[in-house]
A and B are shown apart, each in its own frame.
Chain A
Amino acid sequence: MRKWRLPAALRTLIAIKPKQKLTAQYLLSLLIAVTLAFLVGAGIMLLCGYDPLICYAALFKGALGKPRAIGNTLAKTATLCLTGLAMSVAAKSGIFNVGGEGQLYFGGIAAAVVGARMAGAPDWIIIGCALLAALLAGGAYAWVPGILKVKLKVDEVVTTILLNSAAIYFCAYLANGPLKTTERGISSGTDSVAASFSPLIKLSNLNGSVFVAIIATLLIWYLMTRSTTGFEMKITGTNRRFADYGGIRADRLMMVGMVLSGMLCGLVGMIEVFGIHKRFITNLSNEYYFDGMLVAMIMRYQPMGVILMSFFFAVLNIGGSAMELSAGISSEVILIVQSVIIFFMAAQGGIRQSLHAYTVKRRVRRAHAREVRT
């Protein structure tokens, strides 16, 4: 019987020397994950009676085909990236922030109030003040579960989840009650803000806020991977007791991680208000934070990975909606395909491990065979 062998290209990839091995295997596993995902997705489309080639073409065209589509994809990338990093910076410091949604709403409403009340001031001052207000509001709302965790050992997962609803409904109350706009045609929202980010690509969601997002992303990336504080955060996140023992102020670092996480979420809220809706509306976020959490967890809280994966998710998201319109697939099928793809991305770690086990086994066999010969 002829033995099944890996294609030559894959074999060379596996056989790369130790130092390069990690990245090479990583890329290979990612490649396998994506291929499998798209194959299974294609199978589902075939079962439902659609032509996968047309569908996938529609997906990519819908996400990257026109300037407008690219704009939407990049705007989505920014949102996912900020929320994903928010999750990562907290998780890496050993505290699990599930309350980003609430922090996002508080950031949004704080920015909206500042933006509406400051009418008459120069645009950049309004935007600057709204930014500060959003960061403060988001950070403050994360500080509460943080301090409960650090001082009283109250589980932060429970408190942050509960505080989500509190924030969302409190903001809804404000937008329907005390802060309700008098403008016509707006059912539940605050007054419109006096300044906004200008769009960068016509008719798309991409606007000036993307620069703010890029700066924030770079800062968090630097903090997590290059700074002394990031080093201390990592130690705290991997073993809090060890950090305390080693003279690191673990409590303080967990608070820093949590508050930064809240600030990033507040920033996302502000960007939604000043970039898209021009006011606070009650359904400001469509669970954006949970999408970000997913990205962060798949990439194991590595900042660079989160940035790249955000783009991939944005393509799926934006392209998926376009696919529904242009290829006529029902949105349920698209959701299934998206879930399958996400599933395989998450399984990528496992794929890498089995690849590794395979190489090891092969190497031992070969070494053994050599010994037997001699």
Chain B
Amino acid sequence: MADSSPIVRFDHVSVRYPGALANDDVSLAIRRGEAFALVGENGAGKTTLMNVLYGLTRPTLGTVTIKGEAISARHDPMRAMAMGVGMVHQHFKLVPSFTVAQNIALGSEPVKNLVFYDHKKINSEVLALGKRFGLPVNPDDIVDDLSVGLQQRVEILKALHRGADILVLDEPTAVLSPGESDELFEVLRGIVLKQGMTVILITHKLHEVMQFSDRVGVMKQGRLEGIVNTAETDEHKLAAMMVGREVLFDELRTGRPTDREVLQLKDLRAQDDRGLPAVKGIDLTVHAGEIVGVCGVEGNGQTELTECIMGMRPQTGGEVYLSGQNISRLSPRQIRARGVSYIPADRMRTGLSAEATVMENLLVGKQRQKEFSRFGIQFRKRRANAYARELSEVFDIRAGGIDIPMKSLSGGNMQKAVIAREFSFDTPVLIINQPTRGVDIGAIEFIHEKILQKRAAGCAILLVSADLDELFRLSDRLVTLFEGQLTGQFQNGAIGKQEISYYMTGGRQEVQA
């Protein structure tokens, strides 16, 4: 399929950010009409490289050629689009209150009688476009009402509508359910095979690479480690290239849960941000030394459940008990004091302060302890620094100093910082929501190790994740959550991944063991 003349060429491209070399002398040629995957750990420079192509970042050194034409010094997204490059970002850039058609037309609106927005023309264009690429949408739907998967479809159509024939997707499946991901890749394969377009996929999920790509480029610490044909490699080899060592994931470690009930939820209820019921009467017990995994497609009440246990979201009914003590309707502060720690799903909004330094982020919660506060008045900065340094070392947080702002860390290191802080409280209960989202393989392995250590120490752990592999790897017991209710309970090992997805989507309702 792929003819051999390069459609995009990077020649010795380096990008330096303050304090970091994001791309280090990368030379790469992408062929016309191929499905190319760019993999690497978080912070390996994949997104930066593609941002150079799309004109969001300027290379410090080196040149980029698109279709034989070198990009200018003032390359920007407008010019990139004109050259046929379309990019779908991790975070969508859509206007929520506009319709699908309006969003797609934004910036290149068809005009009727010189002034009027041509509603009919764009709607028919969108329909035709959707049909041609196998991405059906309803042009009159309001974007805000669409599921995340459909919003992404709108993003892709928007790029195609501008005439893109080089499509870049930045971790497109981070927000999708497994079924939606499969569908997306089918469509993308179709675009490559039938339309002869070039698709570049940025990802750190290796099974996607295997599923989708013709060739794969592996990046590590800003450098291009190598390019291989997908047919000639496998996930293990790629993982080794990415991380620089063998990563062992399949090893299953079961714990020895006690029968001491630590965390009990009784008919717990809560609402989502719009005031609609999101948690609808959940009964669940977590024992000491046990990991209970909550499976579910995102948006079925997982986040509301964890926030409501932690006191960050009002409970509209039911009770929470911690070793028999009622901790319902207390503030997060009081709940923490009684022995619960919490790793939230959205680290940027809840789990960290991006502007504060690494040290400050690691210390929050301990600042009133005698060790860090003289008479409860003076902040003991030197001790706090020493403590933060120690903790960064234990949790392998690579920050380049504890006095730099949190926002300059990579996603994986930020997540490690959240985990370092929460685990350091040594509480009997841990609530963990999406511990490894947007985190690279090396860090995932490390985080899983730490969670298992906590279980071995007798912690009662409630683990929420959208990643089934993760849940199956770690949990002692699995429960399925669908539309705010538990639809199944299983001992790990008693059910397969295929089967459990029936329960996650409300297909079956029964309770086993």
Interface residues of A (CB under 8 A from B): 226-232, 234-235, 238-239, 241-249, 356, 360-361, 363-365, 368
* Minimal beta-carbon separation of A212 from chain B (angstroms): 22
Whose C-beta in chain A lies nearest to the C-beta of B334?
A247
Cβ-defined contact, A238 with B342, below 8 A: no
Cβ-defined contact, B364 with A228, below 8 A: no
22 residue pairs bridging A and B, Cβ less than 8 Å apart: A226-B378, A227-B378, A228-B373, A228-B377, A229-B377, A231-B360, A231-B379, A234-B356, A235-B353, A235-B356, A238-B354, A239-B352, A239-B353, A239-B356, A244-B331, A246-B332, A247-B364, A248-B364, A364-B14, A364-B60, A364-B61, A365-B61
Binds A, one of B29-37, B288-296, B343-351, B437-445: B343-351
Query: Known: A241-B349, A364-B61. Contact between A235 and B14, CB under 8 A?
Result: no
* Minimal beta-carbon separation of A194 from chain B (angstroms): 36
A230 to B60, CA, bound (A): 40
Cβ-defined contact, A361 with B16, below 8 A: yes
Contacts of B505 in A (CB 8 A): none
- B496 close to A (CB within 8 Å): no
Contacts of A226 in B (CB 8 A): 378-379, 381
Dominant secondary structure of chain A at its interface with chain B: helix
- B226 close to A (CB within 8 Å): no
* Minimal beta-carbon separation of A365 from chain B (angstroms): 7
Cβ-defined contact, A228 with B378, below 8 A: yes
A89 to B21, CA, bound (A): 37
Contacts of B352 in A (CB 8 A): 239, 242
Neighbour of B61 across the interface among A232, A241, A368, CB < 8 A:
A368
Among A242, A360, A368, find the residue whose CB has the most chain B CB atoms closer than 10 A: A242
Hey, what's the 0/1 contact readout for B136-171 against A, CB within 8 Å counting as 1? Answer: 000000000000000000000000000000000000
Cβ-defined contact, B14 with A368, below 8 A: yes
A336 to B30, CA, bound (A): 56
A248 to B368, CA, bound (A): 10
- B107 close to A (CB within 8 Å): no
Query: Known: A227-B379, A235-B360, A235-B364. Contact between A245 and B16, CB under 8 A?
Result: no
* Minimal beta-carbon separation of A69 from chain B (angstroms): 39
Cβ-defined contact, B378 with A247, below 8 A: no
Query: Known: A235-B353, A239-B352. Contact between A245 and B312, CB under 8 A?
Result: yes
- B333 close to A (CB within 8 Å): yes
A226 to B375, CA, bound (A): 13
- B365 close to A (CB within 8 Å): yes
Contacts of A249 in B (CB 8 A): 333
A183 to B310, CA, bound (A): 64
Contacts of B372 in A (CB 8 A): 228
A360 to B20, CA, bound (A): 10
Cβ-defined contact, B367 with A228, below 8 A: yes
Contacts of A364 in B (CB 8 A): 14, 16, 21, 60-61
- Using a Cβ cutoff of 8 Å, how many contacts connect chains A and B? 85
Cβ-defined contact, A238 with B353, below 8 A: yes
- B337 close to A (CB within 8 Å): yes
* Minimal beta-carbon separation of A360 from chain B (angstroms): 5
- B376 close to A (CB within 8 Å): yes
- B180 close to A (CB within 8 Å): no
- Which are the 8 A-B pairs with shortest beta-carbon distances? A247-B333, A238-B355, A239-B353, A246-B364, A238-B353, A228-B373, A247-B336, A228-B379
Query: Known: A235-B353, A239-B352, A239-B353. Contact between A248 and B333, CB under 8 A?
Result: yes
A127 to B223, CA, bound (A): 69
Query: Known: A238-B354, A364-B61. Contact between A228 and B376, CB under 8 A?
Result: yes
Contacts of B324 in A (CB 8 A): none
A365 to B353, CA, bound (A): 34
Whose C-beta in chain A lies nearest to the C-beta of B368?
A228
Cβ-defined contact, A245 with B378, below 8 A: no
Contacts of A365 in B (CB 8 A): 61
Whose C-beta in chain B lies nearest to the C-beta of A240?
B353
Cβ-defined contact, B365 with A239, below 8 A: no
Cβ-defined contact, A242 with B16, below 8 A: no
Whose C-beta in chain A lies nearest to the C-beta of B310?
A245
Contacts of A239 in B (CB 8 A): 349, 352-356
Q: Give 13 new A-B contacts, CB below 8 A, not counting A235-B364, A239-B355, A241-B350.
A: A228-B372, A228-B379, A235-B356, A239-B356, A243-B353, A244-B331, A248-B333, A248-B364, A249-B333, A361-B16, A361-B60, A368-B14, A368-B61
* Minimal beta-carbon separation of B81 from chain A (angstroms): 26
Cβ-defined contact, B356 with A238, below 8 A: yes
Within 8 A of A (CB), among B310-362: 310, 312, 331-333, 336-337, 342, 344, 349-356, 360
A304 to B294, CA, bound (A): 50
A368 to B376, CA, bound (A): 52
Contacts of A231 in B (CB 8 A): 360, 363, 367, 379
Neighbour of B360 across the interface among A234, A245, A356, A361, CB < 8 A:
A234
Cβ-defined contact, A227 with B353, below 8 A: no
Contacts of A234 in B (CB 8 A): 356, 360
Query: Known: A244-B332, A247-B336, A247-B365. Contact between A360 and B18, CB under 8 A?
Result: yes
Contacts of A361 in B (CB 8 A): 16, 60
* Minimal beta-carbon separation of B27 from chain A (angstroms): 14
Query: Known: A364-B61, A365-B61. Contact between A356 and B18, CB under 8 A?
Result: yes
Contacts of B344 in A (CB 8 A): 245
A249 to B379, CA, bound (A): 17
Contacts of B351 in A (CB 8 A): 242, 245
* Minimal beta-carbon separation of B157 from chain A (angstroms): 34
* Minimal beta-carbon separation of B380 from chain A (angstroms): 9
Contacts of A228 in B (CB 8 A): 367-368, 372-373, 376-379
* Minimal beta-carbon separation of B337 from chain A (angstroms): 7
* Minimal beta-carbon separation of A89 from chain B (angstroms): 16
Within 8 A of A (CB), among B1-58: 14, 16-18, 21
Contacts of B332 in A (CB 8 A): 244-247
Contacts of B367 in A (CB 8 A): 228, 231-232
Hey, what's the 0/1 contact readout for B182-195 against A, CB within 8 Å counting as 1? Answer: 00000000000000
* Minimal beta-carbon separation of B418 from chain A (angstroms): 10
* Minimal beta-carbon separation of A2 from chain B (angstroms): 23
A247 to B312, CA, bound (A): 10
* Minimal beta-carbon separation of B482 from chain A (angstroms): 27
A235 to B18, CA, bound (A): 24
Query: Known: A227-B377, A235-B360. Contact between A244 and B312, CB under 8 A?
Result: yes
